[in-house]
Amino acid sequence: MKGFKDILPETIEKWHFLEKTAVKIFTHLGYKEIRTPILEKTSVFERGVGDSTDIVEKEMYTFLDKSGESVTLRPEGTAGIARAFIENKLETSVFNKLYYIGPMFRYERPQKGRFRQFHQIGAECFGIKNPAIDAEIIYINTLLFEKLNIKTNLEINNIGCPNCRPQYSKALISYFEHYKESLCIDCQKRLYKNPLRILDCKNEKCKIIARSAPKLKDYVCKDCKEHYTGVVECLKALNIEFIENELLVRGLDYYTSFVFEFVNNNLTLSAGGRYDNLIQDLGGNNICGVGFALGEERIIDILDIKPQNSIDIYIANLGVTLYALNILQKLSDLQFKVYCEYENKSLKSMLKKADRLEAKVCIIIGENELKSSSCIVRDMKNSTQKTIELNQLENTLKGVLYAT
């Protein structure tokens, strides 16, 4: 299927490395994992993400289930987690810092870094208004990219809130109306629905026009200004470098005040911000929130790690399967990584396979070894081998493996 990609064994090690690195950072900073369904009621995203966004208007996989209810494959993680926060009454729980890993779905044109099924790692924190928590979310990202050895630029902006944004929207409409015919078709539609999105358009003509548009910093209210200033102070205290980008608005309606993106070679790897009205918009109490999500596929594409040997020992089984299983069990109990061959193959072909699997040791067993309760241990690095009794296997293997 177009836009749906298999993740093969040759790349899965990168996925494991990325996810394990992220989970380690989350747990060290007090975040707990949450898992929500990939299917949600469509209204969760219409009310949460915004019914005038590109995601809701064009990109959602939405259908009626057998009961006639409209359901949607989640296009992002935050709205579903906010819904879970409300329904499970997590505001009374100590678990207000949450992280997630999982697949998302958007019907968009597949291209570099974009798929119709894609995976995100993200975190959400509810109920903390202090700008220090926004900085903590940023800090998580900087830690992760440092450990992944990926260079990024952090871009930040203040996009205001429902109290101050209407005045800014009016100013944008008044400005862009003069250039309406020069805007792309999508931006012409956005002009009266969501003019802020024009600032984020990738069309070259729209980008040129947007550069001279009114600046939101001239319209933000006192609360938004103070919060943004507080985040900036925290980032400076953490020695985190950033660029203020007045055209950064994000494509989700729930964001308020502080937003950010981590960019590598003009490609956004991670993004997020504050959403102080989302819980209330979904029917909950007036509880603030802040979070982020990063695209795993985009990071995997540029992640440079050396593959590790996945196999310690290859068992070349020459027709003595029950004996091979006995040795497999013994080695597994000793915590060695083992691959056992069960197919009827020649020793030559099995040695080639052991080499392709990058096994450090090959254990060769046949009828003679079965009768004498022994095995042949072959050092794959220098092609030397010797026959040993089975009760000597553990010490012999440790000597070979720890010497290589």
Residue numbering of the annotated binding site for L-histidine = 76-78, 106, 120, 124, 250, 254-255
pLDDT for position 404: 54
Contacts of 162 (CB under 8 A, 6+ apart): 256, 277
The SS3 assignment for 221 reads coil
Sorted by where each starts, the structural domains of the chain and their CATH numbers stand as 9-163+221-302 (3.30.930.10), 313-402 (3.40.50.800)
DSSP state of 196: G
148, 125, 149, 120: which is closest to 138 by C-alpha? 125
Token pair for residue 359? 């096994």
Largest Cα separation within the chain, whole Å, is 92
Calculate the alpha carbon distances from 36 to 100, 209, 224 in Å.
9, 41, 31
Tokens at residue 357, please? 């699997």
Q: Which residues are annotated as a binding site?
A: 76-78, 106, 120, 124, 250, 254-255
Residue 346, token pair as written in the block: 């020649």
pLDDT string in tens for the chain (404-residue length) = 888 999 998 899 999 999 999 999 999 999 999 999 999 999 999 988 887 677 888 889 999 999 999 999 999 999 999 999 999 999 888 889 999 999 999 998 777 768 999 999 999 999 999 999 999 999 999 999 999 999 999 999 999 998 988 898 999 999 999 988 899 998 988 888 888 888 888 889 999 999 999 988 888 999 999 999 999 999 999 999 999 998 888 777 888 999 999 999 989 999 999 999 999 999 999 999 999 999 999 999 999 887 676 799 999 999 999 999 999 999 999 999 999 999 999 999 999 999 999 999 999 999 999 999 999 999 999 999 999 999 999 999 988 888 75
For residues 263, 268, 274, 277, the Cα torsion angle rounded to the nearest 10 degrees is 160
Can you tell me the distance from the alpha carbon of 292 to that of 268, in angstroms, rounded to the nearest whole number?
Answer: 12
CA–CA–CA angle 311, 327, 332 (5° rounding): 50
Cβ-proximal residues to 310 (8 Å cutoff; 6+ apart), any chain:
13, 337, 357, 358
Closest CA to 326 of 313, 315, 337, 311: 315
**DSSP symbol at 306:** P
pLDDT of residue 18: 97
pLDDT at res. 240: 98
Sequence-distant (6+) residues with CB within 8 A of 116 are 1, 2, 3, 4, 105, 106, 107, 108, 110
DSSP H or E stretch at residue 256: strand 256-264
In this predicted structure, what is the pLDDT of residue 309? Answer: 65
Structure tokens at 339: 């691959």
Q: Are strands 313-317 and 361-365 parallel, antiparallel or unpaired?
A: parallel
* Phi-psi group of 273: left, alpha or beta (phi > 0 → left; psi -120 to 50 → alpha; rest → beta): left
**Tokens read off for 199:** 């600032």
Q: How far apart are CA 287 and CA 275, in angstroms?
A: 9
> Closest Cα to residue 275, out of 39, 77, 30?
77
| Residues sharing a CB contact under 8 Å with residue 115, sequence separation 6 or more, in sequence order | 3, 4, 5, 297
Q: Which of 311, 354, 301 is nearest to 331 (CA)?
A: 311
Amino acid type, 341: E
CB atoms within 10 A of CB 85: 26
Cα 2 to Cα 176: distance, rounded to the nearest angstrom: 36
